[in-house]
Structure 1
Amino acid sequence: MTLTAQLQAAGRAPALAVDVPLAAGGSARVEQWLRILPGKRLVAQAMQGDTPVLLKLFVGASAARHCERERAGMNALAEQGITAPRLLAEGELDGGGRYLMTEFLCAAQSLQQTWDALSSREPGAGEAMTLLGKALAVIAELHSKGLTQTDLHLGNFLLQGEQVFVIDGDAVEAVSPGQPLTAEQAQQNLAIFFAQLVPEWDAFTELLLISYLQHNPLALNPDKLAASVVRIRQRRQDDYLGKSLRDCTLFSVQRSWLRFTTVVRSQSERMRSVLRDPDSYFGAQPLLKDGGSSTVAKVALGDGSVVIKRYNIKGFMHWLKRFWRPSRAWHSWQAAHRLAFLGIATPAPLAMIERRFGPLRREAWLINEYCAGDHLLNVLGERGELAPDDITGPALLKVFQQLVAARISHGDCKATNLLWLDGEVLLIDLDAMQQHQSLRQWQQAWAKDRARFIRNWPQGSPLANWLEQHLPVVATNTD
């Protein structure tokens, strides 16, 4: 079997210590796989003799085309003097694939890794602003040289010391090499970058643009940029939610006539026994809930605990109402990932299972990370005798402001459906959650959510009065 065929057949688990013959003689030995797109492309850290290198192996049906795009992007960066890893070699793989070899940047990490390690990523936080400014300075340099990066995110920039490198030549396009992009072209590309951030960062866009404009002064239109950011973020959100239901890098999905299962891929091993038989965990410990519509258990699993929620079928008539549409577990899975995408706090969704008979749904299970927080009825008191303090008040308003900005209604705003944990309010029980396209429907849904949340406490109580004064009010309007 040729090397290309071996790598295609290996799926997501290619062997290590693979020797890749080089066109100029010798070989490079793979030491670590960094990224794998099964049957298409693999990225590896390798050694050529005593020299560390980065290998990109193209093994799919379009290997030559993708390799050429990568090489053209890297050449465009080099020709315009943009700091990027040097291309060292290229050639054919045995069996029809292609390879590119670049220098390996030792002790470098992506801006995404640096971002994830920040002590605070709250909008406006100093370290976060500085890091985003570094990326925007490089984007400005790209634009000033007539280049765009069509997959603009922090993971496509490497930081070595104080130097930022551009990677992923496949996404580099030479729009007007050597000539600055127009303001319209730059705005459209910048929108891709800003759409990667949670919506709360939108208020800081103009401040962040100072880092960009210092390197590429253009007459940008803030309103047009903001509109593009909203549009692209919505498209990214829809794409992400679609990925949560199909087998991909982030999610492992299995379908059969009798079952549908999706799990966050990084949690697959931890979830293995739960996915095999979720009901076996309900008898081992006291249940958190044992109602007609759902059964809930907390389970110690791996290095933490999870909550398993089974959505029951109460009888034949109940099944007739439910079998033809996605289960409540399916809906909650999508809702939780929607919130996570938008930076709205909720327990991490880990896996979802539907029992089926062909297209007909039966019982379903949702597995979330366990959060040890207390619900707001306990935290704020059932009688509402006190208004929220300077910590709980802003945190409470933040989550509702986020929901309003995204036009999301919870649908069941009982105080027991909001948890307080480490200075943050988390939303749970997302069965009825909706994101509304219609402004009128959103206004009606938000009015119900707002009124229901205030009714958790006695009318006229200090807490109810505070909520009435401070919770966002959406003005009535028509589409």
Structure 2
Amino acid sequence: MCSELYLIKDKCFEDGDEFSVFKTTLSCSILRKKYSAPELLRVLNNPSAFLSRVSPVLKDSSTTFAGLIRLDGHDFFLKKYNNKGFCHSLRYLFRIPRPLKAFRNSCLFNSCEIPVPEAAAVLCRWKAGLLQDGYLISEFYGDSIPTLDFHKILHNDSTSFIRNEFAATVGSYLARLHENGIAHGDLKMSNIFVRKKDGGSFSYGLWDLDSARIQKRPISEKSRIRELSRVISSFMEIGSRLGVKSNLDECITLFSQPYSDKSGTALPRNALIKRIENFF
């Protein structure tokens, strides 16, 4: 399945039943047709005119501008990728621009049946042959629970049911990605979103896919250890912020067991311990 998923990177850039692709000598934009609406089309035509409507602004730095925007009666997350300078532009003469990569990654995660905010549209613009800027517009989940608020629930769960369910789901997601040649690249607790379902249970998904990497075969043991260790150390770090003293061995078992059950790959415990200790 790895090679089939790898080819999806080409599918994401084709005009067809699912996507509309607009290309000129100075820009390239892709619109998922299910989101086609007048305002969203106008954003792709002139995104700068809509930046003043982003509220609240969640990030505004030299590299990224991001926040929420309402278009055609729907809430979206808009992310603008700024040009980091001439050397950065030269590098992207030979690479997929980050906005297009994030759009592609959304397609890949969906194909692996991993819940992620669906990318609605993407735009990249060039000037004198060099990448100028880019925009990604994605679904926004207004009902997602803030990370710290959820972990207060998680660590105060006397039955451990929610904690075990959470770890089993995250471990299963990681195993599915890794077996299909995909690494999230920056998987920590704040990049796992949580939504409350009817009846009081929770659903989980992943976001912030900019750093995801793909290859044609299952990822290496070293990369698996790195990613799972990042998850476990982040879980323990948030617990410590809440005054919870976590047992390292128990936390490793909590996440590595469902990962192993799903992937059929048992990662060396000593390697996980060593990697986790490097985060503290």
Q: Is the 8 A contact 2:154 2:163 kept in 1?
A: no
Identity of aligned residues (%): 20
- Please state if 1:450 is matched with 2:228: yes
Q: Which has the larger helix fraction?
A: 2
What amino acid does structure 2 have at the position aligned with 1:418? I
Instruction: After TM superposition, give the deviation of residue 432 of structure 1 in Å.
Output: 1.1
Query: RMSD over aligned Cα, in angstroms?
Result: 2.9
**Residue 34 of structure 2: which of 262, 266, 270 is its match?**
266
Structure 2 vs 1, CA of residues 443 and 387 (structure 1 numbering), >3 Å: closer, same or farther?
A: farther
Structure 2 vs 1, CA of residues 475 and 363 (structure 1 numbering), >3 Å: closer, same or farther?
A: same
- Please state if 1:242 is matched with 2:34: no
Map of 2:210 onto structure 1: 431
Map of 1:252 onto structure 2: 20
What amino acid does structure 2 have at the position aligned with 1:403? L
CA distance in 2, matches of 1:367, 1:375: 21
Instruction: After TM superposition, give the deviation of residue 463 of structure 1 in Å.
Output: 7.5
Instruction: After TM superposition, give the deviation of residue 320 of structure 1 in Å.
Output: 3.0
Map of 2:162 onto structure 1: 391
- Please state if 1:376 is matched with 2:147: yes
Map of 1:80 onto structure 2: none
Instruction: After TM superposition, give the deviation of residue 316 of structure 1 in Å.
Output: 2.4
**Residue 462 of structure 1: which of 212, 224, 246 is its match?**
246
Instruction: After TM superposition, give the deviation of residue 466 of structure 1 in Å.
Output: 4.4
Structure 2 vs 1, CA of residues 321 and 381 (structure 1 numbering), >3 Å: closer, same or farther?
A: farther
Map of 1:421 onto structure 2: 195
Q: Is the 8 A contact 1:346 1:426 kept in 2?
A: yes
What amino acid does structure 2 have at the position aligned with 1:368? S
- Please state if 1:280 is matched with 2:64: no
CA distance in 2, matches of 1:389, 1:300: 39
Question: What are the superposed Cα offsets for residues 415-463 of structure 1, whole Å, 9 maximum, x if unpaired?
Answer: 2111111321121111111234455x53222211111122222478337
SS at structure 2 position matched to 1:254: strand
Structure 2: unaligned runs, 5 residues or longer: 197-201, 269-280
SS at structure 1 position matched to 2:220: helix
Structure 2 vs 1, CA of residues 332 and 396 (structure 1 numbering), >3 Å: closer, same or farther?
A: farther
Map of 1:330 onto structure 2: 100
Instruction: After TM superposition, give the deviation of residue 330 of structure 1 in Å.
Output: 1.1
Map of 1:344 onto structure 2: 114
Structure 1: unaligned runs, 5 residues or longer: 1-229
CA distance in 2, matches of 1:406, 1:380: 24
Instruction: After TM superposition, give the deviation of residue 367 of structure 1 in Å.
Output: 0.7
Higher RCO, Cα 8 Å, sep 6+: 2
CA distance in 2, matches of 1:266, 1:452: 35
Map of 1:411 onto structure 2: 185
Q: Matched residue pairs, number?
A: 244
Structure 2 vs 1, CA of residues 260 and 449 (structure 1 numbering), >3 Å: closer, same or farther?
A: same
CA distance in 1, matches of 2:183, 2:158: 24
Q: How does 1:203-222 map to 2 (within 5 A)?
A: none
Structure 2 vs 1, CA of residues 388 and 323 (structure 1 numbering), >3 Å: closer, same or farther?
A: farther
Instruction: After TM superposition, give the deviation of residue 240 of structure 1 in Å.
Output: 4.4
SS at structure 1 position matched to 2:36: helix
Q: Is the 8 A contact 1:386 1:463 kept in 2?
A: no
CA distance in 2, matches of 1:383, 1:426: 16
CA distance in 2, matches of 1:280, 1:388: 51
Map of 2:65 onto structure 1: 295
Question: What are the superposed Cα offsets for residues 235-268 of structure 1, whole Å, 9 maximum, x if unpaired?
Answer: 3x45544222111111000111100000101212
Question: What are the superposed Cα offsets for residues 291-338 of structure 1, whole Å, 9 maximum, x if unpaired?
Answer: 222110201122320001011112223333334311111111111111
Structure 2 vs 1, CA of residues 436 and 385 (structure 1 numbering), >3 Å: closer, same or farther?
A: farther
